[in-house]
């Protein structure tokens, strides 16, 4: 029996049986030409002999590839299928519907063409080598759903090797939107970011990236917790990534469990799944913020969190304040591609967060500290901010 269970194979009847399968049948993407090929004259320009002139020009001046091919507006969405949504390691073929979805979001919200590439390899060396060999066809690389800690090394090595942006969205997209929501929550309650102490549940890709962007933005203090408790320098079981984070965080010198860290904390950010007891949230500071972002089940139910927190956010679309990466990655790449940036820096990420926060800065309420993904102001604001920051950082090439 197939996954569709009662699917009959009749395309016309799909929507009556399961709308998700009906929508995905045949895939969610296609390739369209941007120039006409109506006659022999058009053909001679779009292909041979006309195309040879363009190829020769690019061979003589490689940077012309951005002017005369689609690389200036195209991103590769790359995965190995090892950390797909909340499904885990389901492999490259099963990851393709998600990668197609990501690609259409790039186009819908940022005007960026994106190609899903699900790679049948999980070795870091092979991943880096494969993506590097594919890179000449694209203006940027969006890494997606690659498990930690390998994702950190893959991103680092690719960015060192390539002169185009490499961006692991599970890390940085989540971090950008989280910072934007936190900025507005702080504004709403009249507190500077530097006065807040945050606790992050999860020290994987998203948790580490959120920690780094909050530190760069000037958070007062923060601590991360993993399955074994608070990440601190006294622990002997830390990976290299966790040890680096331990040395940058936890100025208060906390040890013990996540529940211990929450006592008196201003902010809880959940990116690990699992649950947080109501009793622990009750010990947080007055006017606390709870960002319970696990999907589909938040670490604590939003209705329960609201008993103690002034602002509650989740990763779900059926509750207010959805922390959704689609608010970030289309505009981030659109801005980077606009100026042909060689990389996406921390300054560019913070600029993206600030621009995102500014979209609703005059419309704040406990249920509105972040815009909707369908707010048409989002992508232009993020795109402009990222492009301007890239120029200021000296990584723009036009």
- At how many degrees (to 10) do helices 150-161 and 124-134 cross? 40
Q: From the candidates 102, 212, 242, 349, which is the catalytic residue?
A: 102
308 noted as active-site residue: no
Residue 77 sits at φ, ψ, to 5 deg, of -100, 105
Where b means 16+ CB within 10 Å and e means fewer, 196-218 reads bbbbbbbbbbbbbbbbbbbeebe
Following DSSP, what letter does each residue of 203-226 receive, concatenated? -SHHHHHHHHHHHHHT-SEEEEEE
Q: What span, in angstroms and rounded, lies between the C-alpha atoms of 110 and 103? A: 10
β-strand partners of 329: none
If residue 118 lies in a helix (H) or strand (E), which one and from where to where?
strand 113-118
170 is in an annotated binding site: yes
Q: What span, in angstroms and rounded, lies between the C-alpha atoms of 349 and 332? A: 8
Q: Is the dihedral of CA 356, 362, 368, 372 positive or negative?
A: negative
For tokens 């949230």, the residue is: 281
Residue whose C-alpha is closest to residue 68's, from 79, 78, 60, 76: 60
Q: What span, in angstroms and rounded, lies between the C-alpha atoms of 201 and 261? A: 10
Residue whose C-alpha is closest to residue 310's, from 269, 356, 365: 365
295 is in an annotated binding site: yes
Which tokens go with 381?
């604001």
163 is in an annotated binding site: no
Query: Please, are residues 287 and 189 in contact by the beta-carbon 8 Å criterion?
Result: yes
Q: From the candidates 47, 53, 93, 228, which is the catalytic residue?
A: 47
β-strand partners of 290: 268, 312
102 noted as active-site residue: yes
Name residues whose C-beta falls within 8 Å of residue 375's C-beta, 6 or more positions apart in sequence.
359, 360
The secondary structure of 296-353, three-state, reads CCCCCCHHHHCCCEEEEEECCCCCCCECCHHHCHHHHHHHHHHCCCCCCCHHHHHHHH
The binding site for (S)-malate comprises 295, 324
The binding site for a divalent metal cation comprises 144-145, 170
Annotated active-site positions, please? 47, 102
The binding site comprises 144-145, 170, 295, 324
């Amino acid at each position: 029996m197939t996954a569709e269970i009662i699917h009959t194979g009749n395309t016309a009847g799909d929507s009556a049986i399961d709308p998700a399968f009906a929508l995905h049948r045949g895939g969610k993407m296609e390739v369209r030409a941007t120039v006409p090929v109506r006659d022999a004259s058009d053909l001679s320009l779009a292909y041979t002999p006309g195309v040879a002139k363009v190829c020769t020009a690019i061979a003589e001046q490689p940077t012309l590839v951005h002017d005369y091919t689609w690389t200036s507006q195209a991103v590769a969405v790359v995965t190995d299928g090892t950390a797909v949504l909340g499904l885990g390691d389901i492999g490259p073929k099963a990851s393709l519907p998600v990668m197609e979805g990501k690609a259409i979001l790039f186009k819908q919200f940022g005007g960026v063409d994106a190609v899903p590439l699900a790679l049948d390899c999980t070795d870091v060396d092979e991943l880096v080598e494969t993506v590097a060999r594919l890179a000449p066809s694209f203006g940027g690389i969006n890494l997606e759903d690659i498990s930690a800690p390998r994702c950190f090394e893959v991103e680092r090595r690719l960015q060192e090797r390539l002169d185009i942006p490499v961006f692991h969205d599970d890390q940085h997209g989540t971090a950008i939107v989280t910072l934007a929501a936190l900025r507005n929550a702080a504004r709403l309650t009249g507190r500077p970011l530097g006065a807040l102490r945050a606790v992050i549940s999860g020290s994987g890709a998203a948790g580490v990236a959120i920690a780094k962007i909050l530190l760069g933005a000037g958070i007062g203090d923060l601590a991360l917790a993993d399955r074994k408790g608070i990440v601190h320098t006294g622990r002997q079981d830390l990976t290299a990534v966790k040890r680096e984070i331990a040395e940058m965080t936890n100025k208060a010198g906390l040890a013990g469990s996540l529940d211990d860290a929450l006592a008196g904390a201003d902010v809880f950010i959940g990116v690990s799944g699992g649950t947080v007891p109501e009793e622990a949230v009750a010990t947080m500071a007055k006017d606390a913020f709870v960002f319970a972002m696990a999907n589909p089940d938040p670490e604590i139910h939003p209705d329960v969190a609201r008993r103690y927190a002034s602002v509650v956010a989740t990763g779900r679309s059926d509750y207010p304040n959805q922390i959704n990466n689609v608010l970030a990655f289309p505009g981030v790449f659109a801005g980077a591609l606009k100026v042909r940036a060689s990389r996406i820096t921390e300054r560019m990420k913070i600029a993206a967060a600030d621009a995102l926060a500014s979209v609703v800065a005059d419309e704040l309420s406990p249920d509105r500290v972040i815009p909707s993904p369908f707010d048409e102001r989002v992508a232009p604001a993020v795109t402009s901010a990222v492009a301007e920051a890239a120029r200021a950082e000296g990584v723009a090439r036009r």
